Chains A and B, each alone.
Chain A
Amino acid sequence: MKKVRYILAVLLIIQSILFIRVVPCLADSDAGYDTEYEDYSDEDYYNYYRVDDSAGLLSEDEFTELDNILYDISTGYQMDVLIVTQDGLDGKNIVAAADDYYDYYEYGYGEDHDGILFMIDMDSRTWAISTTGRGIPVFTDSVQENMTSRMLPDLKDGNYYNAFRTFAFSCEDRLRSWNEDSEAGYSESSESSGLSGSAGIIVYYVVPLVIGAVLAGFVVFFFLRQLKSVHMRYAAGEYIVKNSLRLSKRSDLFLYSKVTKVPKPEEKKRGGGGSDWSSTHTSSSGTTHGGSSGSF
């Protein structure tokens, strides 16, 4: 009976220790968006067209299809992805035009107006990308270059619908891999910091348990070894008559040698073009945008 009580006491101690750990996780960690427009639901607020076909390059079906795709991507990743076609910019530079368009219509998710806009002007045959907020670090210069170089053949050939689809899906791919790579980094903006999901469970519970068990094992092993004192003796060292060792033969013979060499690592210089960062500029409204431009 005494043993049973003992075991129960041990289990009780363990239970209470584990409970202390679990409690913090029960706190609610939902952080919604900072919405100024509290009378609109999120769904209503973000329900607008993401394609502006002023240049008339798309059929009605193509327009709808594209808009749906952009809606899905934008709401799924909380990043506004927009396509604008123009026929004449009134002399404005296309980069400025893209920035202003985005700012004027207040596109973008969240406080920082996260989003990316692709504008094409048929009059000057130029295009521009404008990124804002989170869109800036996500769509780096090299990512943009990659996307636009794949769109360029279609733009040149007049297959605008294809080019725009390429744009949309490239953005989606980039957003997906960005999310996978930096789950931890992004959680800071919208959720309480720390790992969540299956990674969290492993790091917070499984690993400490394993470490605990291993350390406990060492201690227990030490105490168990205390109990053992019987073992066969190794060799007969104590029975050598002191100083009775006499060497009769002694030869240290050099045979051959080999030299190996390892080259020293060179100092690598940092590359220029195609770098993995985003250049930025400020638009007329004072907002910082990233982006690129070109002609077709």
Chain B
Amino acid sequence: MKAADTYDRPRGRERMLVVDPDCGCWAVTDVQRLADTLEAGDLVVVNDAATLPASLRGTTADGTPVELRIMGPPDANRWPLAVLDGQDWRTPTQDRHRPPILRPGQTLRLSGGLEAEIQSVQSPYQVLATIRGGDVWAAVFRTGRPVQYAYMRQDVPLGAVQTAFATRPWAAEMPSAARPLTWSTLLPLRRRGVGLARLTHAAGLSSVDGGAVDATLPLPERSDIPAETVRAIRATRAGGGRVLAVGTTVTRALEGRVAAAGDLVPGVGTTDLILEAGSTLQVVDGLLSNLHEPGESHFSLFTAFAEEPLLRSANALADRHDLRAHEFGDATLILAGALARIPRDACLAA
């Protein structure tokens, strides 16, 4: 499937691949049809993380350039950083060279007059560093750029990778499942009695080395689940409503919290849950996401919602109709009973 390669495709007008595990069927429609599939008493849960300008330029003491990518929000000035070579996003990840070896105690000069001191090394590609030298957040927002990849045609501006409700800058990359959700869609849903709840999940990098490190993704990620959201989820399930997760990050946050804590306990926590075929979903009933293909960790999570052959057939239809993958592309909805509610003439099934 081709990637959407421009960042300014109009939001809310994307196409949507619908996968319905109830009938074992699938179709292509428009994302506006999402409203048909939801009714009063259902709950939509979104990730309100804003996207960081996570890509920073730096140099080692001997002048070797590096690209650093902030992997998640800092904890008391300890920043998780991915280390890449001194090229940039225009080079496909798998063609980039090994980054320079870094050691604890080493310092890197960052743009904006900052210095990063390596505290610990998790792998050749991942370090924990403290940053000093002035107003760190100001320098990050002035000199950092969004993380992006070689399928894009241009530099992506920070404003183009924010959802319609982006709040705390926790995400290394855009929680892009929500890109198609405009307020023109969300406000009428609210008025109809479909609930809208939020959590903040530190969506991580989707690629680091194009190889062995990528095979370990997603890494453990932090979530903050408000008590209000836990109450909304409990009330929804008690009332027979369904919980629609917008994004794999929301799915991971909620299912990971139950897996780790035994219950949906509010507050901040970390999840290392990997969802795959056969995983039991205890909180989430359906998923709105982007388009993903076998081999991606997101696709593996899809198989917790629907069987792989069904997903593959659906993807083939999407491909025939030139739906686009990646963050600026089209959408996938996996929700039991969804296709029974969308008018036939709004669907392409072949």
Are these two chains actual partners, yes or no?
Answer: no
Which residues does B use to contact A, with CB under 8 Å?
none
Binding site for B on A (CB under 8 A): none
